[in-house]
Amino acid sequence: MVSEATNTRKKSVLWDWLTTVDHKKIAILYLIAGTLFFVKAGLMAVLFRIQLIAPEMEFISGQTFNELVTMHGTLMLFLAVTPLFFAFANYVLPLQIGARDVAFPFVNALGFWLFLSGGILLSISWFFGGAPDAGWTSYVPLASREFGGIGIDFYVLGLQISGFGTLISAINFIVTIINMRAPGMTMMRLPLFCWTMLITSMLIVFAFTPLAAGLLLLMLDRVFDAQFFIPGEGGNVVLWQHIFWIFGHPEVYILVMPAFGIISEVVPAFSKKRLFGYTSMVFAVLIIGFLSFMVWMHHMFTVGVGPIANSVFAIATMTIAVPTGIKVFNWLFTMWGGKLRFTTAMHFAASFVPTFVLGGVTGVMLAMAPVDHLYHDTYFVVAHFHYIIVGGIVLGLLAGLFYWYPKMFGHKLNETLGIIFFWVFYIGFHLTFFIQHILGLIGMPRRVYTFLEGQGMDTMNFISTIGAFMMSVAIIILVINIIYSALKAERVTEKDPWDARTLEWSTNTPIPEYNFAQTPQVRSLDPLFYEKIHGNGEMKPAEPLDDIHMPNGSILPFIMSIGMFIGGFGFISFHMDLFISPYVLIAIGGITFFGGMAARSLQNDYGYNIEKETVESMEKELS
């Protein structure tokens, strides 16, 4: 009665992508959008590194420098790294747990479109009076109505909208992992990438909501003249820092946790060994997740919160080094005595370990409250967090890209070009950022658009900029690799090109929309590897072949996101001279968004069934 035959109607390509609720297609959308923001933010970094190549350069103005620095940080953290991890999570996570789809396909699509519309809203600030310029942390009073430009309004509303998308995606991931695992996939057999995504998603639920609250407060201050951060009217500026960092520190782990997960998948696959200390890895992730909420004030040692608070937060911060150390040693022990294959993915995974450790060590240095007065707001801090973010997170992302590429696109990336890319990127990265530790120690401040001659900073800044150029060249090599591989590389038809261990490699390539014709029966950790040793190398089915129920596509997520975009722009336009009143824009946006919600709840959406015979013929065709 309910199999409305929507799947038989032929859709145009564009309509198909705008209405899709298939987690694999949403993953590709995330990958494309995240990459665009990544490249954009990277180019911004190159621009301000050119400004810093020599003393007293006048390549860009101080104002532009502030805007570029702010946008570089904001885009990288909110609109590049998280979406790229969501791309992998969306694609791989349901496959790894043996599910046909995520728990809420509609919400998943809505999450993507909201993220994108928030990102676009943030990006168009350049055309409406300037980008945000108060740093990615947007501290008041620098970001208040009195001192901050209109760009801050774009910052506040763009992040609010894209953050909402991130939040609902996270809820979706949590429910998917907890409720939709294949039979036999107990929590302690869950692949580590799923574990880290689960904890990441929980961190998002508990950290993005304070951010949403903080952004709302800042918006009310700026647009509706509230007094939260105005000391003269009883407000408090340090309040912003508390709210921001109680989000901001977990955010670091929101970014790095999935990288931990990817490394924990790639290292065993290319070491031909089970991950060393699986259980301790899981508990390390849990402990790190918990502790990440206990340390926010280490970003505020120099604010003057007092010696007791400083001591407590310094100790709590250093405690995080313990579970992190457990993880690092587990990766090393996994490789120890393994049959290592140095593919490009493994290059990235193996090089992740020392660079991440270096970032961690400088982290412990910064955690010492008294010494932090020396490091505070210098390039030492910049170097530290880029060792975590580039030397950890980006290397993890690239390892994941090379590892899962055959599953996602049906062909491998070229390995020779990949390894050239790795070395150019890796050397460029160290040239850029290692030297910034020393620059920071001799006193070069962050966020200052130029420096004077004869302070011993000329050569080091020059080298740093050359490193940034090298990383850009590396990214160009990656783009060439992607194009070359798409044109030349052999199609991968086998299911398991890497001889890997987890469930995603047991599916056909390309993956049919229902993922698994029959839900697999999981019998061990590393289920595919277990079947290779104890069975015929194929997963045993946990259910008979039957009709498969799939969700219908919907254009509503797209429309609702446009509504959010218009409404968000309305709130910003209070400080603009537009031909249309802000209230009208807000009303249009609100009606579109909530109208979309109402339409969704009023329609009958039972999805459709793929008949058993269709599944059989599709499976035959693929294998």
Partner 1 sequence: MADSVDVKKGLPANPEKATLEGKNKFLGMFVFLAGETTMFATFFGTYLGLRSGTASGPEPADLFQLPLVFIMTMILLTSSLTSVLATYAMKKNQFGKLKLWMWVTFLLGVTFLSLEIYEFVEYYEHGLGYTSSAFASSFYTLVGLHGAHVLFGLGWILLLLLRNRSRGITLYNAPKFYAFALYWHFIDLVWVFIFTVVYLMGIGG
**Closer CB to partner 1, 107 or 263, in the complex:** 107
- Is the Cβ–Cβ distance between 380 and 436 less than 8 Å? yes
- By CB under 8 A, is residue 450 in contact with partner 1? no
Both tokens of 265, joined, read 């998948």
- By CB under 8 A, is residue 256 in contact with partner 1? no
- By CB under 8 A, is residue 400 in contact with partner 1? no
Binder to partner 1 among 180, 297, 439, 585 (CB under 8 A)? 180
Binder to partner 1 among 26, 152, 199, 217 (CB under 8 A)? 217
**Closer CB to partner 1, 244 or 422, in the complex:** 244
Question: Minimum distance between the CB of residue 173 and partner 1, rounded to whole angstroms?
Answer: 10
CA distance 241 to 237: 7
- By CB under 8 A, is residue 172 in contact with partner 1? yes
Q: What is the DSSP string of 38-59?
A: HHHHHHHHHHHHHHTSSTT--S
**Closer CB to partner 1, 342 or 606, in the complex:** 606
Subset of residues 41 to 80 that bind partner 1, contact rule: CB under 8 A: none
- By CB under 8 A, is residue 292 in contact with partner 1? no
Subset of residues 226 to 245 that bind partner 1, contact rule: CB under 8 A: 226-228, 230, 232-236, 239, 242-243
- Is the Cβ–Cβ distance between 622 and 21 less than 8 Å? no
Produce one character per residue of 333-369: b if its CB has 16 or more CB atoms within 10 Å, e if not: ebbeebeeeebbbbbbbbbbbebbbbbbebbeebbbb
Question: Minimum distance between the CB of residue 417 and partner 1, rounded to whole angstroms?
Answer: 42
Binder to partner 1 among 77, 81, 174, 285 (CB under 8 A)? 174
CA distance 529 to 189: 13
- By CB under 8 A, is residue 5 in contact with partner 1? no
Binder to partner 1 among 50, 142, 220, 438 (CB under 8 A)? 220
- Binding to partner 1 by CB under 8 A, coded x per residue (else -) over 107-146, reads x---------------------------------------
Both tokens of 39, joined, read 């490249």
CA distance 386 to 434: 9
The partner residues of 378 in beta bridges, in order of sequence, read 445
Both tokens of 216, joined, read 């709302």
Subset of residues 600 to 619 that bind partner 1, contact rule: CB under 8 A: 601-602, 606
- Is the Cβ–Cβ distance between 397 and 84 less than 8 Å? yes
555: which residues sit within 8 A by CB, 6+ positions away? Answer: 15, 18, 19
13: which residues sit within 8 A by CB, 6+ positions away? Answer: none
**Closer CB to partner 1, 42 or 589, in the complex:** 589
- By CB under 8 A, is residue 296 in contact with partner 1? no
- The contact set with partner 1 (CB under 8 A) reads 1-2, 103-104, 107, 167, 171-172, 174-175, 178-180, 205-210, 212-214, 216-217, 220-221, 224-228, 230, 232-236, 239, 242-243, 246, 549, 594, 598, 601-602, 606
